[in-house]
Amino acid sequence: AQTVTQSQPEMSVQEAETVTLSCTYDTSENNYYLFWYKQPPSRQMILVIRQEAYKQQNATENRFSVNFQKAAKSFSLKISDSQLGDTAMYFCAFMKPSSPTFGNEKLTFGTGTRLTIIP
Amino acid sequence: EAGVAQSPRYKIIEKRQSVAFWCNPISGHATLYWYQQILGQGPKLLIQFQNNGVVDDSQLPKDRFSAERLKGVDSTLKIQPAKLEDSAVYLCASSLEGGGAQETQYFGPGTRLLVL
């Protein structure tokens, strides 16, 4: 079974600064997908960024980027130029691809990191 | 494009009572998921539907939880009878089609259940 560990329950950073959220995972799979989801206080979970394990290049989405270290099973999220709207719970998640006939495999989530951006 | 809709947003019941949650996925999305998110934890998958068929219900407590998606669109999740430990947020998500993790799961706002 896959496990996802987020060792930072809470973090805070000044607006406009850069912050890095940590995530490690455990799996015996070679091919898989990793995600960072954001859950603002309104509780609507939103996908921030995704990474395919077979890709060596780290994914980026505007101010969000990841540092994917496959051998170390580490998947950290870096938020640059942080904004007040970045305040939320951030969840790291793992997905093992299943057979096409069965649709998407389930997401396995970590326990989350509560990020607060300070004005 | 309308997102995933869920109702009710909040529900308070006493233990041993029954409760039902409703989810309307994004139009055209074949895959629907129900997750349970206990306070302080990440969401945990309860059941996954592909159209109106169950793909994965291995973590659904079948003695008290049931779910259906009769016409392959809307879904209901029922708890009967509820226990104190069922207090959680129940999240519904949907994705376009099966076949790989390249498809994003879109989440609804969730239903917060408190069992007293």
Place B56 in a pLDDT band, splitting at 50, 70 and 90: confident
pLDDT reading at A105 higher than 80:
no
Q: Evaluate whether B91 touches B37 at the Cβ level (below 8 Å).
A: yes
**Exposure class string for A103-114: b at 16+ Cβ within 10 A, else e:** bbbbbbbbbbbe
User: How much is the pLDDT for A101?
Assistant: 52
| Cross-chain residue pair A106–B48, CB shorter than 8 Å | yes
pLDDT value at position B101?
A: 52
Residues with Cβ within 8 Å of A71's Cβ and at least 6 positions away in sequence, in order, are none
Q: What burial class does residue B47 get, using C-beta atoms within 10 Å of its C-beta: 0-12 exposed, 13-18 middle, 19+ buried?
A: buried
A93, B101 in Cβ contact below 8 A?
no
Least CB–CB distance from A111: residue in B3, B42, B55? B42
Looking at chain A, which residue has its C-alpha nearest residue B90?
A: A43
Query: Is B2 strand, coil or helix?
Result: coil
**Each residue's pLDDT tens digit, A77-94:** 999 999 999 999 999 999
Chain B residues lying within 8 Å of A7, measured CB to CB: none
Tell me: pLDDT of A113 over 60. yes
